Amino acid sequence: MHVVLRPGPGKASMLGNEAIVRGALEAGVAVATTYPGTPSSEIGDTFYEIYTEAGIYFEYSTNEKVALEVAAAAAISGLRSIVAMKHVGLNVAADSFMTLGYTGVRAGMVIVSADDPSMHSSQNEQDNRLYGVMAHVPVIEPSSPQEAKELTKIAFEISERFEVPVMLRTTTRISHMRGIVNLGNLRLNAFNKKKFQKDPMRFVVVPATARRNRIRQLERLKRIKEFSDEFKYNRIEVYGEDPSVGIVASGASYGYVVDVIRSKGIPAKVFKVTMSYPIPERRIAEFISTVDKLIVFEETEPVIERQIRELAQRLGIKIIIHGKEDGTVRYHYELNPDEIYRVLLKVLKGETSQKSPLKVEIKLPSRPPTFCPGCPHRATYYAAKRVFGTNVVAPTDIGCYTLGFAKPFNMGDLLFSMGSSFGSASGLAHFIEEPVVAFIGDSTFYHAGIPGLINAIVHRTPAVFVVMDNATTAMTGGQPTPEVPSKIKAEGLVSIPLERIMDGLGIDYEVVDPYDVPRTIEAFRKAKEYVSKEKKPFVIISRRLCALEYARKARKEGIKIIPYVINQEKCTKCYACVKTFSCAAFTILEDGSVHIRPELCIGCGACQYVCPFNAIERAGGE
Amino acid sequence: MEVYNVVLAGVGGQGIITVGKIIVDAALREGKNAVMSEVHGMAQRGGSVLSEVRIGDAMSSIIPSGEADLVIGFELIEPLRYVEKFGERTILLVNNDRIMPLPTLLGEEEYPSSEVIVSEMKKLTKRLYVINASKLAEEAGSPLSMNMVMLGAALSLGMPLKPETVKEVLRERFRGKVLEINEKALDLGFSTVEKMLKSVD
């Protein structure tokens, strides 16, 4: 039994993301939706594993906007819903999100925004609490897996009390923190069909209704502000004797603050702000009147700090406030215990903390992430490079295949967001002299790539558009896609093959298997010619199951993997394989000989076409 | 406040997160608090992986500078990336397996010799334990059980968990042949370091 379904009471170790699912199940959630994205993915993955057993509705939606709309439809129909996404996902969903802050909802709705300070796995470190400020949607922030569970539960109550969605904002360090969680009682089987209560004057947003909603939104915010003062998770803790310094902290920063002041014995009054928008104004005002100095620690933007500065100015409270705005606390990247200690030493004692005297005298080789052994993307890029060389501009997209921008392929010149490869390429090829080849993954294509391709067709953009179809959303852990929508037989979902989309759009295309390297090279050659002759777009669908998924499948179904080996008699140590194909299973021993590590090789055979001396053979000489 | 801090350093795919999870579950079984940081997504694809586990009264899963009790390197050079975690009490346990990163294979960056790496490690701590965990894992029955060899070795270096509790967690997580191999690997790691400790005494 999955840990999130274990009956309470008791304790279990859980990832922050699992604790969020547990909290939702304890709150009687009926509908859960998501589009996967690090660091939010395990929320959806956990729901996917248990949703049938838990008696709820769950879906991997096409993108975050659809996920949010499905969850909102549920909440407006009277079903408690939760939608989870990574921070940049809310950019995709922002259009509906912003107006949802006006209309509000009926049953509780929780929007989980998993932010990624320090960009462990993201293109930016935007702080989505600012979306809460913009839409007047309350934002709460957990500091541990235990709190992630509790606050998810409470978020549903807050949402219902004020008829507005609540944003649960986590960061990587909370979503991906494992800790001990106290189990409460589960409320399973919450999904049952409702009768829709019509109220178009509220839920159809034309100017006349929108104006009414706007007034209601501001009145609601006033009531939420009063609630924030009563909210017991906004709390004051006193450490040590006669503290004169006040610390305001939220989210992951709160944990660092407590660890540091306890281990170093620094007396301090700590205001743990859990509702970071709107802040508990009355209690914060009282708090800052009792301390000489105030330091604010929070992840990414100074959202709480700015509210406190504004509050102090408005109430005429004279206090020195240290934070990100005055440069005391580092603005960029996530905080950590060392940064907290550095700031405390500086503010309290005017001291600079001592850096560790230990250092390494040797240069460490860098170890960037790479394609997995047998990854079909490697073979696709190899073929593209063989045809286009370096005289090409390659808009790329978000997924494992983004790594194609690195050596040895250098296929990747432009990337903003999900789907941006096809969007930007649809214009780029009109503007530059070089040939344009755009790369996108299957899941990303369905998510936001289709409008870019339509634009290219309509505007006759002379570029090659490559959909790298590995039949899964690989980067985030292997979730389904609209083409392969289910891993469960009984789900009865409908597949939309890429071919059907291309046929419908009326664009010429070719489907290749990247493991068949010669044919894939031929396809790129033909596509290049087509585009330069016809002056219009051409699509290559490069289709082969994700190597990780294949390895998993092989293990499960008992398929024997026969690795490839390098025939040392034929090998001339030219290193063409290592330098131009760079499979992660290759290794060079100290005598300079090249080998394929049998425990890593998945037997795809793509590398055999790369060796100019035919030295790469299937083990056993078949 | 008593906290035992463990740094787990290695390469994506070595089973580092699994070791962390087992430590947390074992701590829970012994009625202790434990927290752990994990990495997912882009960072996992064959890149450097760092996970931090803290047993005891810790709120956050990030170990402050200088406060690691035990650093476990699942690959030879990886622990040197986290030099700031080393302090006076730090023990370093490392697998002597060298995994060449891509820039090294491309001939652009050099992977220093094992002797050079070990001599750097000796500057960081007097308590250094280098073991051939990958070979021990093969002895146990599968190269994939290398992580269990390291966990077993860690248990003999003062990690505040009973080996029997860890085995209970293994029996809960694994079945059949995999369980058998993992238990054997755990024992091999444990006894290998035990012998090293005895030979020093």
Domains of chain A and any CATH numbers = 3-227 (3.40.50.970), 235-349 (3.40.50.920), 376-552 (3.40.50.970), 564-618 (3.30.70.20)
d(CA A140, CA A144): 13
Predicted ipTM > 0.90: yes
A166-170, A281-285, B95-99, range with the lowest pLDDT: B95-99
CB contact under 8 A, A362 and B117: yes
Tell me the three-class secondary structure of A565-584, residue by residue.
EECCCCCCCCCHHHHHHCCC
Confidence of residue A276 (pLDDT cuts 50, 70, 90): very high
State the DSSP H helix or E strand holding residue A12, giving kind and residue range, or none if neither. strand A10-15
CB contact under 8 A, B102 and A584: yes
Domains observed in chain B: 3-200 (3.40.920.10)
CB contact under 8 A, B42 and A143: no
CB contact under 8 A, A121 and B42: yes
CB contact under 8 A, B34 and A179: yes
Name residue A596's amino acid.
I
Looking at chain B, the whole-number percentage of residues with pLDDT higher than 90 is 89
- Residue A85: list chain B partners with CB under 8 A: none
Q: What is the pLDDT of residue A356?
A: 72
A562 with A603: CB under 8 angstroms? Answer: yes
| Closest partner CB to B21 (pick from A178, A263, A367) | A178
- Asked if B61 is an interface residue toward chain A (Cβ–Cβ < 8 A), one would say yes
Please report which residue ranges of A265-352 form alpha helices under DSSP H: 281-289, 303-315, 337-349
d(CA A342, CA A102): 42
DSSP class of B64: P
Per-residue model confidence as pLDDT tens digits over A212-250: 999 999 999 999 999 999 999 999 999 999 898 999 999
A77-86, A423-432, A552-561, B37-46, range with the lowest pLDDT: B37-46
d(CA B77, CA A247): 39
Q: What is the pLDDT of residue A599?
A: 84
Mean pLDDT of chain A: 96
- Residue B87: list chain A partners with CB under 8 A: 356
B14 with B75: CB under 8 angstroms? Answer: yes
pLDDT of A344 over the 60 cut: yes
| Closest partner CB to B1 (pick from A263, A359, A408) | A263
Q: What is the pLDDT of residue B46?
A: 78
Q: What is the pLDDT of residue A513?
A: 98
Query: Which residues contact residue A316 at a Cβ distance below 8 angstroms, ignoring those fewer than 6 apart?
Result: none
Question: Strand A57-60 and strand A31-34: pairing?
Answer: parallel
Tell me if residue A15 falls in helix, strand or coil: strand
Q: What is the pLDDT of residue B44?
A: 61
User: Sheet holding A464-469: strands in order across?
Assistant: A437-441, A464-469, A538-543, A509-512
d(CA A478, CA A487): 10
Confidence of residue A354 (pLDDT cuts 50, 70, 90): confident
CB contact under 8 A, B41 and A121: yes
Nearest residue on chain A to B121, alpha-carbon basis: A360
CB contact under 8 A, B34 and A599: no
Per-residue model confidence as pLDDT tens digits over B128-142: 999 999 999 999 999
| Closest partner CB to B40 (pick from A38, A584, A587) | A38
Q: Which residue has the tokens 């709390």?
A: A235
Phi and psi dihedrals of A138, rounded to 5?
A: -65, 145
Looking at chain A, the whole-number percentage of residues with pLDDT higher than 90 is 94
Q: What is the pLDDT of residue B196?
A: 95
A320-329, A462-471, B97-106, range with the lowest pLDDT: B97-106
The pTM for the full model equals: 0.97
Q: What is the pLDDT of residue A385?
A: 98
Average pLDDT value for residue range A522-545:
98
CB contact under 8 A, B77 and A364: yes
Tell me if residue A537 falls in helix, strand or coil: coil
pLDDT of B121 over the 80 cut: yes
- Residue B90: list chain A partners with CB under 8 A: none
